[in-house]
Amino acid sequence: MSVAEKIPVVTIPSPKRPVRQNGRWAGYRHLLWARMLELKREPEVVFWVFVFPLLLATGLGIAFRNKPAQATPVAIVAGAGTEQAQTLLQHSPRQASFKIDVLDEDAARKGFRLGKYDLVIEPDLDGGVRYLYDPARPESLLARSQVNDALQAAAGRKNVIATSETTSSEPGSRYIDFLIPGLLGMNLMNSGMWGVGFALVDMRQRKLLKRFVGTPMRRGDFLAALLSSRLVLMIIEIGLLLSLGVIFFHMRVLGSIVTIALLGSVGALCFGGVGLLTASRAQKIESVSGLMNLVMMPMWIFSGVFFSYERFPAILQPLIKALPLTALNDALRASILEGTPLVHQWSRLLIMGLWGGISFVLALKWFRWT
């Protein structure tokens, strides 16, 4: 036996490295971070989510800015009594409010039909006049009232009651003050549904969802990460639109920024849930685009984005107020324009919570990876 064989071999155990354990929310955090990084490859998202609402608000704000009232275009049919009617309007106290053209009957009616004139005046031989106006057009109805008052006053009618006028153009009562919260709600709906639904179907169409099936990732974590990504973008959306309103249009924000951010968060999660449900089984981009437009179109029309939904018939009001965008717009306007506390808006929060919660539960149940 050799000397080398007599020496015992001693094995020194290597120190054990601690096994790194991923926590319960590790998958969720990685998915959320990956979703945010995807925005670098989608520059068009930055435009539609951030730039487009600012351009829209700026354009509408400039179009409806405070400016002198425009003269009402009025056509007088040439004939007997035309000169008298024209003289009365030109010498009335409100002569600057009218833009008068004397035309033959066919030209006057054609101009009215094409919207060039709000009112057509047809004088007769006895000194009377006949008005041609459209009661369905507010500007035509207003022109008829203004012209009739001017003619009657110029002809010698005396007002029994003394009146005075006060115009209101203070921040908080203008159209732009009504518009910006509506645009904010509409943008949260659009970005929530398109940002979640479109991304989900795009991954399904590119077979990316198939790869997630073989991982231990929970389905709920995957869907929750998609929803949470909207919260990060929501903060930027609210900040940009409110800053635009305050800086350029001198809008007064009476509510707490924290309250507005919480309302925006609930709205973003609500429409993210609706977007998940809409895209839970769609196979192609064309399919989910049609479904999302079908869901969003009624809310664009009825939920009071550009004008008050109070104009719709009373029988539709309960249905309109049950829409999530209506609740979000009303909550944002109440907080921004009136300073209403969050606790007083529990009914609107409940509506958004029900829409978002039920949609998420159904999406979790019906979701398909392929």
Question: How many whole angstroms separate alpha carbon 130 and alpha carbon 108?
Answer: 13
| 79-88, 192-201, 236-245, 345-354, range with greatest mean pLDDT | 345-354
Q: Are 289 and 349 part of one and the same domain?
A: yes
Q: Are 209 and 322 part of one and the same domain?
A: yes
Residue 140: alpha-carbon gap to chain centroid: 29
7 falls within a domain = no
125, 154, 183 - which closes a domain: 154
6 falls within a domain = no
Kindly report, residue by residue over 268-300, the tens digit of the pLDDT: 888 888 888 888 877 777 777 788 888 888 888
Q: Are 271 and 292 part of one and the same domain?
A: yes
- pLDDT value at position 350? 94
Q: What is the mean pLDDT of the chain?
A: 76
Q: Are 130 and 252 part of one and the same domain?
A: no
Q: Are 342 and 240 part of one and the same domain?
A: yes
Type of residue at 295: V
2 falls within a domain = no
Of the chain, the percentage scoring pLDDT greater than 90 comes to 6
129, 154, 179 - which closes a domain: 154
Q: Are 270 and 186 part of one and the same domain?
A: yes
Phi-psi region of 215 (alpha: psi -120 to 50; beta: other; left: phi over 0): beta
- pLDDT value at position 163? 46
Angle between helices 257-279 and 285-302 (to 10 degrees): 140
Question: How many whole angstroms separate alpha carbon 130 and alpha carbon 170?
Answer: 39
Quick check: pTM over 0.75? no
Q: Are 106 and 215 part of one and the same domain?
A: no
Give the domain extent around 319. 32-63+171-366
- Name, in order, each residue with C-beta under 8 angstroms of 337's C-beta and a sequence gap of 6 or more: 172, 177, 178, 181, 252, 254
Of the pLDDT bands very low, low, confident and very high (cuts 50, 70, 90), residue 119 is: confident
- pLDDT value at position 323? 92
Q: Are 334 and 187 part of one and the same domain?
A: yes
Question: Is pLDDT of 164 > 50?
Answer: no
Q: Are 36 and 82 part of one and the same domain?
A: no
- CATH number of the CATH domain containing 113: 3.40.1710.10
Of the pLDDT bands very low, low, confident and very high (cuts 50, 70, 90), residue 370 is: low
Minimal CA–CA distance to 327: which of 249, 264, 240, 251? 264
- Per-residue CA distances from 174 to 97, 169, 171, 337 (Å): 22, 6, 6, 11
88 falls within a domain = yes
- pLDDT value at position 297? 86
110, 125, 154 - which closes a domain: 154
Question: Is pLDDT of 309 > 50?
Answer: yes
Q: Are 242 and 264 part of one and the same domain?
A: yes
Q: Are 78 and 57 part of one and the same domain?
A: no
9 falls within a domain = no
Question: How many whole angstroms separate alpha carbon 194 and alpha carbon 285?
Answer: 11
- pLDDT value at position 325? 92
Our count of domains for the chain comes to: 2
User: Residue 148: is it exposed, middle or buried by C-beta count within 10 angstroms (0-12/13-18/19+)?
Assistant: middle
122 falls within a domain = yes
345 falls within a domain = yes
Greater confidence, 327 or 114?
327
Q: Are 142 and 271 part of one and the same domain?
A: no
15 falls within a domain = no
Q: What is the mean pLDDT of residues 115-138?
A: 80
